[in-house]
Amino acid sequence: MKPTVGFIGLGLMGNPMAHNLLKAGFPLIVWNRTAARADTLVQGGAKLAATPRELAAQVDFLITIVSDPPAVEKVLWGADGALAGIRSGSMLIDSSTISPDLARRTAAACREKGVGYLDSPVTGGTWGAEKGELVFMIGGQAETLEKARPVFEAMGKKFFHLGANGAGQIVKLAMNLILALEVEALAEALAGHPFRRSG
């Protein structure tokens, strides 16, 4: 029997990611701030937890993908947060886009509880999430990633181990910066501004 997966964050990316885990045969428990977003998953066989803490106490792998660093902190450390219930020997996979420092702080909190941790932000957009073709940028121990490989394979087509905890977030932030520069360059071109050359 496959390990039980918990999923927190059922937005544009999280909902299709969770559906792909169900399709792959993983027993699934979900939680979302707006519970109605879990309706189709529950209809498909997932269970709905009342709180992140309740969810974390029942799963072998916990995946989080929420909007921003404050949301990650609330889900993990807030009232009835997941870290209060997470079981020793389980694993936390955070696919939110957060700071490398927060990823390292989360890793330290997990180590204290005997829990594996991978920071694994994603790229590929909603289309990639729906098709199960996301790309994961992963920071953490190689042996931790190997244990999680079947879970990643249910959601994505590629996953890159980039180094210690925080490395996944560093690469994701660098990619976001490159994208922002491309958008700025395009905006300047469309506005009719000449490209600036140094030297």
Euclidean distance between CA atoms 117 and 56, whole angstroms: 13
Written as six digits, the tokens of 45 are: 């066989």
Please name the residue that has the structure tokens 């180094």.
163
Q: Where in the chain are the domains?
A: 5-190
Name the strand (E) or helix (H) holding 91: strand 91-94
User: What does the pLDDT read at residue 183?
Assistant: 67
Alpha helices in the chain (DSSP H): 14-23, 39-43, 52-56, 69-77, 100-112, 125-131, 142-155, 167-190
Euclidean distance between CA atoms 189 and 182, whole angstroms: 11
The total of other beta-carbon atoms located within 10 Å of residue 82's CB is 25
Burial 22-46 (b: 16+ CB within 10 A, else e): bebebbbbbbbeeeebbeebeeeeb
Catalytic residue positions, numbered = 172
Do the beta carbons of residue 110 and residue 168 sit within 8 Å?
no
**What's the CATH number of domain 5-190, 3.90.1170.50, 3.30.470.10, 3.90.226.10, 3.40.50.720?**
3.40.50.720
The gap from C-alpha 191 to its chain's centroid, in whole angstroms, comes to 37
pLDDT values of the chain reduced to their tens digit, one per residue, 199 residues: 899 999 999 999 999 999 999 999 999 999 999 999 999 999 999 999 999 999 999 999 999 999 999 999 999 999 999 999 999 999 999 999 999 999 999 999 999 999 999 999 999 999 999 999 999 999 999 999 999 999 999 999 999 999 999 998 987 876 656 666 666 767 777 787 555 555 5
Residue 103's nearest CA partner among 89, 90, 114, 92 is 92
Integer-rounded Cα Rg, in Å, for the chain is 18
Name the strand (E) or helix (H) holding 139: strand 134-139
What is the three-class DSSP state of 176? Answer: helix
